[in-house]
Structure 1
Amino acid sequence: MYLPSSFRQDDLVELHQQIAESRLATLVSQGPDGLQASHLPLLLVADEGEFGTLYGHFARANPHWRALAQDPETLVVCNGPDAYVSPSWYPAKAEHGKVVPTWNYIAVHVYGQIELFDDAERLLTLVGRLSARHEAGRAQPWAIEDAPRDYLDSMLRAIVGFALPIRRLEGKWKLGQNRSAADQSGVREGLNASPDARDRELAARMNSPSGLYG
């Protein structure tokens, strides 16, 4: 990832928070037939290893996991909010006109070597934890115990689990830190006025008029 120093995010807590908030990650690897990518919900266990460990599972019918068995080197992309930035939001446009459009966004890249497993009890624990995470907050959350065990066993045979001990993290918070405080404020106001909730979400991450970003 191209990572200018002004956009670099090294705070492990912030990186972990963004990984946890990214509901669907993109897992990429190189296999015998070239690059492969799968889109997967993942579970972060922050206190495992130096940088944490990601857990997830593939459908057994997905050939991606077989490629990873041969070459376990893996990149996971966790995207945060993003938004188009109009030059019209910059006060600098009225001053000299030397402004162009850009795109602001938050992204985390996770690197490591994947470890596959298909132990039924370990898979059951993983699926249970993933389900509990995404069912949290519902009035009547579904629990894995709600399904018959023989049915669960048949479903577990159809997936392959994995652990990804995180070896390296890259975080990019491209939020206009290279612009003046006035231009940053103009972008924040423009995004906040947008009817698109995704734009307003990005504006919320630009957390102070002084240009300090979280």
Structure 2
Amino acid sequence: MTDRTLILGIGNLLWADEGFGVRCVERLAERAGFGPEVQIMDGGTQGLYLLPFLEDARNLLVFDAVDYGLPPGMMKVVENEAVPAFMGAKKMSLHQTGFQDVIATAQLKGICPDRLCLIGVQPEELEDYGGGLRPIVAAQIDPAVDRGLDKLAQWGVHPTGPGTGSPDLADVALRRDAYEGGRPSEDMAYRHGDERFVPGRRR
């Protein structure tokens, strides 16, 4: 195992607050730059395809929307052996990434990073296809990134300069400003299914 650090954002941008983790790594890459030993990555919903990246890391910092059973927008940080218990033990939706399985497999193979930290925020809305983050969740992006930078510093991982982005993030067309700013209004794109089959729904 190397001394590399993997900073991973988990989630599906298409389902509202489920995209929180991805938006956090986007923001972190804007705010802080690191050396080649640190990888900032949009893990999306790749599941077990992420295993090779865990194998190459000593430290794993994960941002995600997590159902802690707390009020929407509440942040909770868990570390090390407590992390797997929160990564999918209570399924949020049909679209949730099964990252708990990724960690369990890495542990079985003996390739799990030594140090784990999960920074999660309780989602407010998950069933809005094509929707962006709700304000109460979006407001936690920078506080979550702050907590992440503090944890990295505790691990001896420090920024080397201002943020320059990351090649392992989504295309710029899917970044938060472009994605949320380009969404049609509710009058143009009904939010609750195909309006042709919704009783009483008329344009």
TM-score (norm 1): 0.22
TM-score (norm 2): 0.23
Between 1 and 2, higher relative CO (CA 8 Å, sep ≥ 6) is seen in 2
Q: If each structure's strand is expressed as a fraction of its own residues, which one has the higher value?
A: 1
